[in-house]
Structures are given as structure tokens and as C-alpha cells.
Amino acid sequence: MRKKICILTSSRSEYGILKNLISLFKKSKFFKLEIIVTGAHLSKYFGKTINEMIDDGISIDHKVYIKINKKDDHQSVINQSSILVKAISKKLNFIKPDLLLLLGDRFEVFLTTYAAFLMNIPVVHIHGGEITRGSIDNAFRFSISKMSNLHLVATKKSKKKLIQYDIEKKNIFHVGSPSVSNLNDINFYSKIELEKILKFKFKKKNILVTLHPTTKENIDYREQINSLLKSLSKFNHLGMIFSKPNNDIGHKYFIEKIKIFTKKNPNSVFISSLGRNIYFSCLKTVDIVIGNSSSGIIEAPSLGCRTLNIGKRQFGREQSESIVNTTYNTKEISQKLKKIINKKHYKSYFNPYYKKNTNLKIVSLLKNYFKVR
């Protein structure tokens, strides 16, 4: 009998990482795949990105709706969490999977792991053991690791970290990052194609801005975006592409300020829904990615894009030599941006998150997991 494996996805970025892995499981005669879709995928406000999955030919087996509250505060997140954990537990009880595969550290993943843990459903977790001291996701990731049964880590240091967490070595496997491995399969858009898609004319030097609000910084989220925009206002010779922030507390304020900035500065553009191929094509085309996104740490080095990493959100993650760190101090951001924008552009940099054939390794490991039980 085929083993039933269940995968949950709650956002476009997460699905983009899991897409190739989902395809391999669909083709497998060993596994029966069931997919749960929730979160931003089902929200009109975030582009209802479930449609992209459907366009890719992905069968959506289960949907879990949670209302995206218009209020941008802690109580709204708590209310959403309560609804989600109840709904997810009902779905898991109906599906009765042999294994639940989860990626990353978002609160939806944490709550799903919690439900599965209480229901004695084995969990395999991808991207555990990483440290991001400036993000609430750090606590989620640690908790997910402690409740998971198998751990597929992206780096050697992540494996060592999980061992320090008193997780058995035999259950930890260094497979690399699926996202970095997936870059080999992307059909990148050229600069000319991007200009048509984005309706934006690139300058001689260009940056991609991906900043997410965080409550774990020393300064308020309002100061975070305002400090960055104040710095960038001095660089009107640079082309600037702004992506939409995550659904974290403060994201609506970020969007409002970015829209005001791009209206005042014709050298900039705000794109509310880039999509994986366009986003990584931008990363490959621009000179620098600025912000606190994990993409600046994990994928950017393999695409030859330098990173100006702001604040503590990614603090603790392993970094390539292409990454420069800064605080939210306006003067420091300006000085470091000015310094690195003219540095030599390489096709790629050493990336500690890369390992060949990551997705194939994952499928093979999970097959073996059932064979040896």
C-alpha cells in the first residue's frame, strides 16, 4: 500500500520552494500525496495565490480558510491561530497521513506541527536548526524541531545545532536547501523581459528591496521602514524595485509608506505580487538586495547578487561573503549601500545552503524511513 504523505503550504514563497518536491511525490508510486492549502494562498488581499498552484496543475486536496483580519495587531494573530489549529486538526484527523512534511518556521507551520504532535502524526521538518535571533520565527522554528521526528537541514552547522538541542543524530540529515537547488530549474527572465513585465526601466545600477516588519528589533516597525526609506531617498540614481512585505504585524503600515515613496520617486516601483520566477529573475538582474528577507541570505549568493542585510531578523544564520550587515541607522545604511553598490559583480558566490539534488535526496530518505520501520 502506498504511504500517505501530507504537505501543507500557506504562502506563495513556501509553495515556490516545495513545488519541485511536490512534483516528485506526485510521480512516485511509493507515496500518495495530499496537499493542504491555507493562509495567504486563499486570501484576495494577498493575491489568492492558490490560483498559481492550480495553473501549475497541482491538485488541491484540502483548503483551510482563516480570515485575514483587517486589524494589524497581536490579538488578530492569536484569533487566527486559534481558528487555524482547530481546523488543521480536523483535516489531519480526516486525512490520517503516515507522514506530514512541513517547511520553515511561519506560525501556520508551528500550529500544524503542534496539532500533529498531539495526534501522534510523524512530522518531517525542512530547514530546522537555523538561528534568526531577531525574529519571532526563531522560537517557532525551535519548537517545531522539538516536536518533529525527522529533520532535513540545509547546512552542516544546522545539523550541529539540532544535536545541541538534544535531537538524535540518526534523525538529522544534511540535504541542502530545496530553494537553492530549485534555482537550477528556473527559466529566468532577461532584463528586457522584466522591464515589460514590471513596467519599469532599469537604471545603470539597481536594487531590490524586501523588508518585513519585525517586533523583535530595538526600534518600532514604523521606524524600521521610515529609516530605510529616508536612506534610499538619497539614491535617486538607482533603480529600485520594492516587493510586498510578509503578513506580519506592521505590514499594512509598510505598504502605505512604500506606496507613498514610489509615487514621489519615479526611479522606483512597488510590485504587490512578484511571483517566484520574477522575484529570482530580479535578484539575478539587480546589483543588491536590501532588507531582512531570508532570500538575501539563502538564494542571493547563488545568483551573484550582493546583500545589504538590515537589522536582527536574520541574525544568526550562516552567511556568504557577499552579505554585508547593517543596523537601521539611516547614516549607516547609506554609507554601506554607497560602499558596496560599486563593488565588482560576480556570477555567483560560495553558498553554504547549496547541495546537489536536494529534492531527490529528500524523496529517497523518506522512502527509506518507511522501509526500515
Task: Say yes or no: 79 and 214 in one domain.
Answer: no
Cα separation, 308 vs 289, whole angstroms: 6
Q: Which of these, 217, 212, 276, 219, lies nearest to 242 by C-alpha position?
A: 212
CA atoms within 13 A on the CB side of 33: 20
Is 93 a domain residue? yes
C-alpha cell at 15: 509553495
Q: Which of these, 355, 185, 188, lies nearest to 286 by C-alpha position?
A: 188
Helix (H) or strand (E) holding 45: none
Is 126 a domain residue? yes
Cα separation, 249 vs 260, whole angstroms: 19
Q: Kindly state the DSSP code that residue 116 receives in the 8-state scheme.
A: H
User: What is the structure's pLDDT at 136?
Assistant: 83
Task: Say yes or no: 133 and 226 in one domain.
Answer: no
User: What is the structure's pLDDT at 348?
Assistant: 80
**10-residue stretch averages of pLDDT, the chain, 373 residues long:** 94 89 95 92 80 88 78 76 92 97 93 97 97 85 97 97 96 97 95 97 98 88 97 97 90 96 97 89 97 96 97 93 97 97 82 96 94 69
User: What is the structure's pLDDT at 69?
Assistant: 57
CATH number for the domain that contains residue 69: 3.40.50.2000
Task: Say yes or no: 26 and 146 in one domain.
Answer: yes
Cα separation, 335 vs 345, whole angstroms: 19
Task: Say yes or no: 300 and 172 in one domain.
Answer: no
Task: Say yes or no: 215 and 97 in one domain.
Answer: no
Main-chain dihedrals φ then ψ at residue 3, nearest 5 degrees:
-80, 135
Task: Say yes or no: 146 and 238 in one domain.
Answer: no
Torsion of CA 277, 152, 176, 19, to 10 degrees: -20
User: What is the structure's pLDDT at 178?
Assistant: 96
User: What is the structure's pLDDT at 76?
Assistant: 77
Q: Which of these, 104, 289, 139, lies nearest to 216 by C-alpha position?
A: 139
Full strand arrangement of the beta sheet holding 206-210: 268-271, 239-243, 206-210, 288-291, 306-310, 323-326
Task: Say yes or no: 199 and 329 in one domain.
Answer: yes
Cα separation, 289 vs 3, whole angstroms: 41
Helix, strand, coil shares of the chain, percent, nearest 5, are 45, 15, 40
SS (H, E, C) 322-337: CEEEECCCHHHHHHHH
Is 346 a domain residue? no
User: What is the structure's pLDDT at 40?
Assistant: 81
Is 290 a domain residue? yes
Q: What is the pTM of this model?
A: 0.89
Task: Say yes or no: 58 and 138 in one domain.
Answer: yes
User: What is the structure's pLDDT at 309?
Assistant: 98
Task: Say yes or no: 226 and 279 in one domain.
Answer: yes
Please list the alpha-helical segments (H only) found in 96-155: 107-118, 137-147
Is 100 a domain residue? yes
Q: Which domain holds residue 110?
A: 3-176+355-371
Is 348 a domain residue? no
How many angstroms from the chain centroid is the CA of residue 220? 23
Cα separation, 89 vs 87, whole angstroms: 6
Number of compact structural domains in the chain: 2
Is 350 a domain residue? no
Q: Which of these, 213, 216, 211, 215, lies nearest to 241 by C-alpha position?
A: 211
Task: Say yes or no: 164 and 65 in one domain.
Answer: yes
Task: Say yes or no: 109 and 223 in one domain.
Answer: no
Task: Say yes or no: 64 and 131 in one domain.
Answer: yes
User: What is the structure's pLDDT at 347?
Assistant: 75
User: What is the structure's pLDDT at 65?
Assistant: 86
Q: How many helices (H) and strands (E) does the chain have?
A: 14, 13
Cα separation, 359 vs 182, whole angstroms: 8
Is 345 a domain residue? no
